[in-house]
C-alpha cells in the first residue's frame, strides 16, 4: 500500500528533475527567497536609511549597487523590493487560485443558476479592463494620506479580484469531467454533502492544475504589479517593490543605469525561474501534453 502511494510521487519528482531549466529555476527561486529573508542582515544600511554623503552615487565599495537621488542604498532597496514583490506574488497567487478553485468547482458541481451567475460574473470581470480599474483605485489610495503601509494590501486585493477568472473557467471544465466519475456518485450515495465531496474528492483530483496555476499566478502577479508601478500606481514610497524601483530607474536609465540594472536583473531572474518551474511542473504532472504555454 505504502509502495503504491509513494511511486507516483517519485515518478513526478524524477520527471521534474529531468527538466534542467526547471531545476535551475527552482534553485534560483530558493536562493532569492533566502536572500530576501535574510536581507536586512546582508546590508549595513536599512532600505529607508539616507546617506547624506552619497546622493546618486554610482556603485562603490560602500554602496555595492550605488545610491538613489535621495541617498538611499540601492542594494538595501533592492532586497526590500524583492521581499515585497515576493510577498505580493505569493499572496495574490494563493488567494486567486483558491477563489478560482472554489468558484469553479462549486459552479460545475451544483450547476443551475449558481453556475450561470458565476460564469456571468467571470465574463463581466474579463470585459472590464482590469489594468485601468486597478490603476484607478490604486491612484486614489496613493494620493490619500493613508497610503504607504496599507496601500500594498489594497493592491494585493485588487490584483486578486481581477486575477482568478481564467483559472476558474479551467477548474470548472475539469470539474465537469471529474464529476462524471463513479467514485463521486458513490460518495454522493453514501450521503456525503456537496461541499465535502468537492473538498475531499474533486479538488484533490485537479490538484495538479491548481499547483501549476498558482505557480504561474506568482509570476503574473509580480509582473502586473511591476507594470502598475511603472505608471506610479504600484507600491507607494517610502515602501518599495521591484516594480517601483524599476519604474523609477527606467526614467533615468541612460544617465544613471545602476538604478535600473540591479532590480531589472533580479526581476527577470525571478520571473524566468518561476515560469520555468511552472513549465517543469506541467511537464511532470502531464507528460502527454507537451505543452509549455498557458495561453
Partner 1 sequence: MGAYLLKRFLNYAILLVVATNLSWLLAVTQLNPRSLYEISNPPIDPISIENNLRSRNLSDQVPLSERWFTWSSSIILDWNWGQSPRGGNVGEEIDRRIWVSVRLITLGSLLGAGLGVLIGTWSARRQYGLSDRTFTFLALLGLSIPSFVIANLLQVAATHINDITGTRFFEFVGETGAHGTWLGAQWLDRLQHLLLPTIALTILGAAFFSRIQRNVMLDSLHAGFVRTARAKGLTRSQAINRHALRVSLIPTSTYFAFSIATLFVGAAFMEIIFSFHGMGEYAVQTIQGHDVHGAVATAAFGGLCVLTGALLADFMVAWLDPRVRSASTSHSG
Size of the site for partner 1 (CB under 8 A): 46
> Does 28 help bind partner 1 (rule: CB under 8 A)?
no
> Does 180 help bind partner 1 (rule: CB under 8 A)?
no
Q: Which of 94, 133, 154, 170 binds partner 1 (CB under 8 A)?
A: 133
Cβ burial 231-257 (10 Å sphere, 16+ → b, else e):
eebbbbeebbbbbbbbbbbeeeeeebe
Q: Which of 276, 281, 283, 284 binds partner 1 (CB under 8 A)?
A: 276
What count of other Cβ atoms lies within 10 Å of the Cβ of residue 186?
Answer: 11
> Does 244 help bind partner 1 (rule: CB under 8 A)?
no
3-state secondary structure at position 275 = helix
Minimum Å distance from CB 256 to partner 1?
Answer: 12
Q: Residue for cell digits 498558482?
A: 214
> Does 21 help bind partner 1 (rule: CB under 8 A)?
yes
Residue length, the chain?
295
The Cα–Cα gap between 221 and 218 comes to 5
Q: Residue for cell digits 511532470?
A: 284
Closest CA to 31 of 116, 23, 283: 23
Can you state the percent helix, strand and coil of the chain, rounding each to 5?
70, 0, 25
> Does 295 help bind partner 1 (rule: CB under 8 A)?
yes
Minimum Å distance from CB 188 to partner 1?
Answer: 27
> Does 253 help bind partner 1 (rule: CB under 8 A)?
yes
Q: Please answer whether residues 129 and 225 qualify as being in contact, where contact means their C-beta atoms are separated by less than 8 angstroms.
A: no
> Does 131 help bind partner 1 (rule: CB under 8 A)?
yes
By beta-carbon proximity to partner 1, the closer residue of 101 and 281 is 281
Minimum Å distance from CB 62 to partner 1?
Answer: 27
By beta-carbon proximity to partner 1, the closer residue of 103 and 198 is 103
Minimum Å distance from CB 18 to partner 1?
Answer: 11
> Does 136 help bind partner 1 (rule: CB under 8 A)?
yes
- Binding segment toward partner 1, per CB under 8 A, in 169-177, 178-186, 204-212, 253-261: 253-261
By beta-carbon proximity to partner 1, the closer residue of 165 and 184 is 165
Q: In the range 53-112, which residues lie near partner 1 by CB under 8 A?
A: none
> Does 190 help bind partner 1 (rule: CB under 8 A)?
no
Cell output for 130: 482590469
The Cα–Cα gap between 103 and 147 comes to 31
Q: Please answer whether residues 95 and 156 qualify as being in contact, where contact means their C-beta atoms are separated by less than 8 angstroms.
A: yes
The Cα–Cα gap between 282 and 292 comes to 8
Closest CA to 172 of 98, 96, 102, 104: 104
Binding site for partner 1 (CB under 8 A): 21, 120, 123-124, 126-129, 131-133, 135-137, 139-140, 143, 219, 223, 226-227, 230-233, 243, 246, 250, 253-254, 257, 260, 264, 267-268, 271-272, 275-276, 279, 289-293, 295
Amino acid at each position: 500500500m505504502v509502495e503504491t502511494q509513494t511511486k507516483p510521487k517519485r515518478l513526478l519528482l524524477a520527471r521534474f528533475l529531468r527538466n534542467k531549466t526547471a531545476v535551475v529555476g527552482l534553485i534560483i527561486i530558493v536562493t532569492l527567497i533566502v536572500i530576501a529573508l535574510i536581507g536586512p542582515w546582508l546590508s549595513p544600511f536599512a532600505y529607508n536609511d539616507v546617506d547624506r554623503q552619497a546622493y546618486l552615487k554610482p556603485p562603490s565599495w560602500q554602496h555595492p549597487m550605488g545610491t538613489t537621488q535621495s541617498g538611499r542604498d540601492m542594494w538595501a532597496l533592492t532586497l526590500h523590493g524583492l521581499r515585497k514583490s515576493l510577498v505580493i506574488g505569493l499572496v495574490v497567487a494563493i488567494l486567486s487560485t483558491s477563489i478560482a478553485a472554489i468558484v469553479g468547482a462549486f459552479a460545475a458541481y451544483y450547476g443551475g443558476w449558481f453556475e450561470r451567475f458565476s460564469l456571468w460574473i467571470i465574463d463581466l470581470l474579463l470585459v472590464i479592463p482590469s489594468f485601468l480599474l486597478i490603476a484607478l483605485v490604486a491612484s486614489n489610495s496613493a494620493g490619500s494620506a493613508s497610503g504607504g503601509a496599507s496601500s500594498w494590501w489594497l493592491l494585493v486585493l485588487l490584483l486578486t479580484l481581477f486575477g482568478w477568472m481564467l483559472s476558474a473557467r479551467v477548474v470548472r471544465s475539469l470539474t465537469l469531467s471529474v464529476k462524471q466519475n463513479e467514485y463521486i456518485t458513490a460518495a454522493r450515495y453514501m450521503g456525503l454533502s456537496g461541499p465535502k465531496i468537492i473538498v475531499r474528492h474533486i479538488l484533490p483530483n485537479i490538484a495538479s492544475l491548481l499547483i501549476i496555476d498558482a505557480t504561474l499566478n506568482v509570476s503574473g502577479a509580480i509582473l502586473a504589479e511591476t507594470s502598475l508601478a511603472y505608471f506610479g500606481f504600484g507600491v507607494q514610497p517610502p515602501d518599495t517593490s521591484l516594480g517601483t524601483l524599476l519604474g523609477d530607474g527606467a526614467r533615468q536609465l541612460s544617465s544613471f543605469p545602476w538604478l535600473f540594472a540591479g532590480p531589472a536583473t533580479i526581476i527577470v531572474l525571478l520571473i524566468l525561474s518561476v515560469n520555468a518551474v511552472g513549465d517543469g511542473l506541467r511537464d511532470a504532472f502531464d507528460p502527454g501534453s507537451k505543452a509549455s504555454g498557458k495561453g
